[in-house]
Structure formats: structure tokens, C-alpha cells
């Protein structure tokens, strides 16, 4: 199986500090904004570039390798910009991640988190206030699974979609395996809870789109008519594998995998698999609410599956990072907590 890695950086902190000697500003008294960025501090990241705009002024590009506090360490970045210190006036600050470099290569735009804006930031001379912004990024590490490293560096996740026409695994020879797993080290205080939406396989015969929606709760072989309804006979055996493992390194691994056999009617049409999955501690979603989205073309009016092994951000992969809206966290259809 061809797999890849997924990593996450830690929080970004924005510090606002008013000063009396920072140079004149357009609307009133002199002031400065002292911006402190705890850059994506996973060692694999070469550098992170932020674009900062204060109160509608010119955008400033801040590279972690240029403004890092400690040479060779991009985890803490400081930058000072002018702000309006007029009494009662509130500034608007926008911070965006405009570039993430891993292994000397810039990640695609889809790997960057959404920009964040604050509209009520006071910048008073000789006083200070703090504004906290949190950013998370997802990057392919090209090493095995989709390894998601949270800012705590205590939780890791893996995910994949592999397609096969191997009759030694699927009785009819054609099928897909969707895998999702997350691990917490022994030091992690919270539970590892997995979340997954229902899996939808939609097939188009050129005139009509027919969908089979699978409830992946399981475990074991799913019953047609209960976990899913398949009047067109698209699916063969559907099996859910769920469990919890602890390895020699005291890493507690919770996994949720689904194997789906595809039958003749599906192979003769254009079929697509879609779903989402994420991880939480049972209370809140980490990674800034980020999750994995699968939207993969499985067949193309052929006699077997045309999909292969799908990697994050790969060409025509259909597997990518997804983000909740700024005000609404992503909710999921199903939850698996092995130790409630």
C-alpha cells in the first residue's frame, strides 16, 4: 500500500503592545503593535510565512526564518508594526499563513489554514493588550501513514484509501479499504475519540445517480438493509474493523477501518466515494477543527476499479484537508470511543 504522512503545527499567539516611541500613525498618537508568533514549531517545517495587515494598512510579509527569536528555530517569531493609538479607537488586525515550506518545498494552498481577523484591538500608548490567534496546518510528510501531530505532540492520526482488484482480499476481486486511526501516548490525559460521517457511494449510469449510504458503526460484517440499503446490488460484503491497541512504546492506538466490496453493477457505472473523519478528546475537536475529507472516483464505466492508492494532496487524489466554517465546528454522523 502506498501511504503518506500528515502533520500539524501548534498555536500562533499574537501579542499587541502599545508604545510611546514607535513613530507617527495616520489617525492619532504614536503606537506600535508587537506581534509575537509561535510559528508552526514541528521540526519538520523549514519556515512559515505570515501576511499581517494592521487596520487596513499595507500587508507585511513576515518570514519565520527572518524574524525568528532564536537562530535556526522558527518556533517563535516577533515583528513590530505601527498601529493607531487614538483613545477609544479599535484597530483591525488580519493574520494569514501565506506559505509553509517543508523539505524545501512550499505546500499547496489547500494546506494553509484560513486567515483570521480581529476588529476590536485597542492600541493605547504606554499600555498593552494581548490577542490570541490559533493556526494549524496540515502537511504531507511522505513517510508511511497520514501522521497528524497535534501541537501537544501527544496525538497522531493515520488515514488512507486503497483500491484493489485482488481476488485474494475481495471475493469478487474489486473493492476499497478506507482506514482511519489515531494514537495517544501514555502521557496524554484525554481519551482518543474517533468521528466519521456515513460513507456515501454514488454511481452514475449516465441518466440517473444512485447512492448507497453506509453507516460504518459496526463492527464486523454489516447487514444490508440495516446498515445500508442497496437495491441496485452495487456492494458485496462490507466489513468494519474497530479496536484499540497499545504497542511497546505505550502508544494507545484507536482504529476504525472499512472494507467495501464492489459488485458488477457498480463497476459498469461511474462511482464516487465520499466521507469525512476527525479526532477529538471526547469534548473538543483538536487541529483547529480540521479533519480529513475523502472524495474519490472509484470506477469509470469499466470492468474493475480504476482508483488506486490515494495520498493526501496527490494529483487527482480526492483526499485532502478540510476546515470548518469560522463560526461552526464540523459535526459527524458517528463516534467511536473505545473507553468512554
DSSP 192-228: -EEEEPPEEEEEE-SS-EEEEEE----SEEPPBTTTB
Quick one: 201 and 324 in the same domain?
Answer: yes
State how far the Cα of 327 lies from the Cα of 192, in Å rounded to an integer. Answer: 24
In a domain, 2, yes or no: no
Residue 102 β-bridge partners: 45, 105
CATH of the domain at 95: 2.60.40
Quick one: 64 and 174 in the same domain?
Answer: no
In a domain, 264, yes or no: yes
Alpha-carbon 125 to chain mean position: 40
Quick one: 183 and 212 in the same domain?
Answer: yes
Name residues whose C-beta falls within 8 Å of residue 199's C-beta, 6 or more positions apart in sequence. 178, 213, 214, 216, 258, 260, 273, 274, 275
In a domain, 34, yes or no: yes
Quick one: 194 and 326 in the same domain?
Answer: yes
Domain boundary residue among 108, 136, 164?
Answer: 136
Whole-number Cα distances in Å, 305 to 128, 272, 300, 301, 313: 60, 11, 8, 9, 21
Output 55 or 138, whichever has higher pLDDT: 55
Share of the chain above pLDDT 90, in %: 21
In a domain, 75, yes or no: yes
The pLDDT-based confidence of 231 (bands split at 50, 70, 90) is very high
Grid cell locating 145 = 501513514
Quick one: 72 and 163 in the same domain?
Answer: no
Phi, psi of 110 (to 5 degrees): -65, -15
pLDDT score recorded for residue 184: 65
Q: What is the pLDDT of residues 244-282, one digit of tens each?
A: 776 555 556 788 889 899 998 999 999 999 999 988 877
Quick one: 151 and 194 in the same domain?
Answer: yes
In a domain, 234, yes or no: yes
CB atoms within 10 A of CB 38: 19
State how far the Cα of 34 lies from the Cα of 17, in Å rounded to an integer. Answer: 5
State how far the Cα of 22 lies from the Cα of 124, in Å rounded to an integer. Answer: 12
Domain boundary residue among 136, 167, 198?
Answer: 136
Residue 194 β-bridge partners: 279, 336
Quick one: 94 and 237 in the same domain?
Answer: no
Residue 132 β-bridge partners: 13
Q: State whether residue 117 is helix, strand or coil.
A: strand
pLDDT of 38 over the 70 cut: no
State how far the Cα of 231 lies from the Cα of 225, in Å rounded to an integer. Answer: 9
Quick one: 153 and 188 in the same domain?
Answer: yes
* Structural domain containing residue 29: 10-136
The tally of domains found in the chain comes to: 2
Q: State whether residue 178 is helix, strand or coil.
A: strand
Quick one: 194 and 250 in the same domain?
Answer: yes
State how far the Cα of 21 lies from the Cα of 225, in Å rounded to an integer. Answer: 73
Quick one: 27 and 64 in the same domain?
Answer: yes
Q: What is the pLDDT of residues 321-336, one digit of tens each?
A: 788 877 778 899 999 9
Quick one: 193 and 309 in the same domain?
Answer: yes
Ramachandran category for residue 336: left, alpha or beta (phi over 0 → left; psi -120 to 50 → alpha): beta
Which residue in 39, 34, 32 sits closest to 12, CA to CA? Answer: 39
Quick one: 100 and 174 in the same domain?
Answer: no
Domain boundary residue among 90, 113, 136?
Answer: 136
Amino acid at each position: 500500500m502506498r501511504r503518506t504522512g500528515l502533520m500539524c503545527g501548534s498555536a500562533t499567539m499574537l501579542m499587541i503592545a502599545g508604545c510611546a516611541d514607535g513613530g507617527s500613525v495616520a489617525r492619532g498618537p504614536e503606537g506600535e503593535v508587537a506581534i509575537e508568533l509561535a510559528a508552526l514549531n514541528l521540526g519538520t517545517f523549514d519556515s512559515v510565512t505570515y501576511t499581517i495587515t494592521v487596520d487596513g494598512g499595507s500587508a507585511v510579509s513576515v518570514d519565520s526564518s527572518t524574524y525568528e527569536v532564536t537562530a535556526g528555530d522558527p518556533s517563535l517569531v516577533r515583528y513590530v508594526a505601527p498601529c493607531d493609538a487614538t483613545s477609544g479607537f479599535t484597530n483591525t488586525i488580519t493574520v494569514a499563513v501565506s506559505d509553509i515550506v517543508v523539505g524545501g518545498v512550499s505546500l499547496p494552498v489547500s494546506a494553509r489554514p484560513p486567515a483570521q481577523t480581529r476588529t476590536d484591538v485597542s492600541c493605547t500608548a504606554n499600555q498593552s493588550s494581548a490577542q490570541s490567534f490559533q493556526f494549524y496546518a496540515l502537511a504531507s510528510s511522505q513517510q508511511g501513514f497520514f501522521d497528524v501531530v497535534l501541537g501537544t505532540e501527544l496525538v497522531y492520526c493515520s488515514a488512507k484509501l486503497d483500491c484493489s482488484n485482488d481476488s485474494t482480499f475481495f471475493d469478487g476481486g474489486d473493492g476499497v479499504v478506507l482506514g482511519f486511526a489515531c494514537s495517544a501516548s501514555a502521557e496524554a490525559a484525554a481519551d482518543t475519540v474517533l468521528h466519521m460521517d456515513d460513507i456515501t457511494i454514488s454511481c452514475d449510469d449516465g441518466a440517473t445517480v444512485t447512492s448507497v449510504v453506509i453507516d460504518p458503526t459496526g463492527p464486523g460484517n454489516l447487514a444490508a438493509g440495516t446498515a445500508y440499503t442497496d437495491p441496485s446490488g452495487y456492494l458485496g460484503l462490507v466489513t468494519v474493523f474497530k479496536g484499540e491497541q497499545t504497542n511497546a512504546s505505550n502508544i494507545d492506538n484507536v482504529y476504525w477501518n472499512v472494507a467495501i466490496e464492489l459488485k458488477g453493477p457498480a463497476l459498469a457505472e461511474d462511482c464516487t466515494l465520499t466521507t469525512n473523519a476527525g479526532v477529538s478528546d471526547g469534548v473538543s475537536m483538536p487541529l483547529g477543527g480540521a479533519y480529513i475529507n475523502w472524495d474519490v472516483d472509484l470506477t469509470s464505466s469499466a470492468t474493475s476499479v480504476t482508483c488506486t492508492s490515494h495520498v493526501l494532496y496527490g494529483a487527482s487524489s480526492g483526499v485532502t484537508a478540510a476546515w470548518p466554517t469560522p463560526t461552526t465546528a464540523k459535526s459527524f454522523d458517528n463516534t467511536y470511543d473505545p473507553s468512554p
